[in-house]
Structure 1
């Protein structure tokens, strides 16, 4: 039945029907606990036309569907996308002052570790660097949970890196959300 189905663009997918055939890539995925519905696999999907949609997969399908939909981490990521990133701060570097276009700017490099121990290098600039550095200094355990909303995906020296986007990002240290509690229990 599915082989004969026409591929539907994401912009035409509607929630009242469950039998769609789409070609998508997963831009971002995360597991989330919802009190009413339980565990879900949340995803941001994109089709060939660049249309993006948020999708949820119930716990009963997480293992089977999650393996079929790996998150894109390779060179096909577009730097114009802003994403949310959460993880435990690891390998915090020094707060440095760097001359950028003749002006001094604060910079801090670190690594974020997710629940599966996957790690991604990060670099925050300006007030974000100062906030993170101070937040890490105040945290008793020394490894706080960091949520960067509207983070920028980039490459530095050929490596994938997360950084703040000028006047668009938000930085929260140990935010009061379920994911932070889950990290603290690990």
Structure 2
């Protein structure tokens, strides 16, 4: 197939499946290898953002890896000629309705655009806890790490896997459970016990998964039901659905950064000290 080039740059919000001759200008935010036992083998996955901050998932099969050598994390690139298909399933790295797939005539070239924005889309703890979010879409979340437990080793799909449970707290005194697996658990525990950082530190977990399940720590989702009773009176019944909300890394899709620039752990420590003081009385 002949290579088709275009001078027109399309924003990510505007790409649609009806053609493959799109040209986009994007920054590579993250990349990872997705292992597979299926025909075609492993694939390379990317999370891309355009200058407006819109993000999209991009995938490249092993057959076309030579075409994405220039897609390096932190760099701006032009990508021409990509397949656009609906995004579906679990662990979707972005909320975009579509994803990009590198094809036989895809072309990646350098861009002169300079923009150091990491295009964070931080999700607040109340948004996570009230059950309003699509748990199939991964999120960015930041908080101070507290109540860090001991490293556990548990069997996962026949393999011994490291697991670390902790709590994240925000500047408004909201707390949420967090569970890290594998190298993410190792990274945080190293920071806490060995690393040359203060014991008070922030964790930025990008492209993280929301888990919902029954547990002892409860998040109360208020559902108000109005019933028409005698004499046209209305009575309010409140139903509390109890369960635990937990943040966890989504395999290698997620990234973990300790004390990211632009955030001050003191904003979190002050609140933690006040809370600890009140709990002593």
Q: Distance in 1 between the 2:128 and 2:255 partners? A: 23
Matching of residue 150 in structure 1 with residue 235 in structure 2: no
Q: Please state whether the residue corresponding to 1:71 is helix, strand or coil.
A: helix
TM-score by length of 2: 0.39
Structure 2: which 5+ residue stretches go unaligned? 1-12, 14-94, 98-118, 120-125, 215-242, 272-281
Q: Distance in 2 between the 1:166 and 1:128 partners? A: 9
Shift of 1:106: 0.5
Residues 19-68 of structure 1, C-alpha deviation per residue, up to 9 Å, x if partnerless? xxxxxxxxxxxxxxxxxxxxxxxxxxxxxxx889x9xxxxxxxxxxxxxx
Matching of residue 115 in structure 1 with residue 200 in structure 2: no
Q: Distance in 2 between the 1:149 and 1:91 partners? A: 21
Matching of residue 80 in structure 1 with residue 136 in structure 2: yes
Shift of 1:123: 0.3
Q: Please state whether the residue corresponding to 1:176 is helix, strand or coil.
A: coil
Matching of residue 71 in structure 1 with residue 156 in structure 2: no
Q: Distance in 1 between the 2:200 and 2:269 partners? A: 10
In structure 2, do the counterparts of structure 1 residues 103 and 165 end up closer, same or farther at CA, with 3 Å as the change threshold?
Answer: same
> Which residue of structure 2 aligns with residue 166 of structure 1?
251
Q: How many residues end up aligned between the 2 structures?
A: 123
> Which residue of structure 1 aligns with residue 262 of structure 2?
177
**Which structure has the larger Rg?**
2
Q: Distance in 1 between the 2:155 and 2:250 partners? A: 18
Shift of 1:102: 1.3
Shift of 1:77: 2.8
Q: Distance in 2 between the 1:97 and 1:144 partners? A: 24
> Which residue of structure 2 aligns with residue 125 of structure 1?
181
Q: Distance in 2 between the 1:51 and 1:130 partners? A: 31
Q: Distance in 2 between the 1:181 and 1:90 partners? A: 14
Matching of residue 104 in structure 1 with residue 189 in structure 2: no
- Which of residues 87, 95, 100 in structure 1 aligns to 2:151? 95
Q: Please state whether the residue corresponding to 1:134 is helix, strand or coil.
A: helix
Q: Distance in 1 between the 2:263 and 2:213 partners? A: 32
Structure 1: which 5+ residue stretches go unaligned? 1-10, 12-49, 55-69
Q: Distance in 1 between the 2:251 and 2:265 partners? A: 25
Residues 79-127 of structure 1, C-alpha deviation per residue, up to 9 Å, x if partnerless? 2111111111010010111111210001000000101111000001011
Contact 2:191-2:197 within 8 A present in 1 as well: no
Q: Distance in 1 between the 2:96 and 2:187 partners? A: 34
Shift of 1:156: 3.3
Q: Distance in 2 between the 1:141 and 1:85 partners? A: 20
Q: Distance in 1 between the 2:266 and 2:254 partners? A: 23
